[in-house]
Amino acid sequence: MRIHKRIHEEGTKAILITVAVIAAMVTLANVFWPRQSVWHYLLYAFDLVVLVLTIRFFRIPIWRRTTLLDDAVISPADGVVAANEVTLEDEYFHDQRRQISIFMSIYDVHINVFPFDGEVTYYKYHPGKFLVAFNPKSSSDNEHNTIVLKDTKGREILVRQIAGFVARRIICDLQAGDEAMVGEELGMIRFGSRVDVFLPLDAEVKVKIGDRMVSKETVLAILK
């Protein structure tokens, strides 16, 4: 389903709660300390920043256009490449894969998208810990979702949404057999975390550690 609005539906409740808390704080401050002071203005400024950040967190970048390129795997998330290495993927493939890890800060867009066209062939939710997302163990020990996609040529990649120290909710409503359309919403992770992509070893990787990724636009790799 294509999205045309600017704020994700998951943000409605969070934004309303934020507004309610801010209103209560401002009301109490003015009831107990009616004379305006520098502390009041600092409180107002702080509340405004919190509200703007909350709204910004749930933004949908409707101005972006999906990169459409044959055999390309695009970035499923905004963020910075934190790992680019060959590793053992032992949940689904049970063999060596090229792992690209994208760390999302609280300032990034947190909607994740499908990195290429195909079909969801495997989906599993794993409860777990909430280690800092940069921790290598977070990929397997933290709460995470594993999604495997297969294209019409039979090529498979694995996408893993990983909750972090701050991110305490992974949102994903998929099941095996669902259609995957490149650039369409896969899910989201609230308040900062990580997305891992496991590619075939012969994939031509186009990114390196430290590169900034833009979901829907940046090409991660070209599949053989």
| Active-site residue, 193 included | yes
Catalytic choice (75, 101, 193, 215): 193
Residue carrying the six token digits 């993927």: 89
The string of DSSP letters for 135-193 reads: STTHHHHB-EEEEEEE-TTS-EEEEEEEE-SS---EE----TT-EE-TTSEEEEETTSE
Interatomic CA distance for residues 206 and 156, integer angstroms: 18
Residues catalogued as catalytic: 193
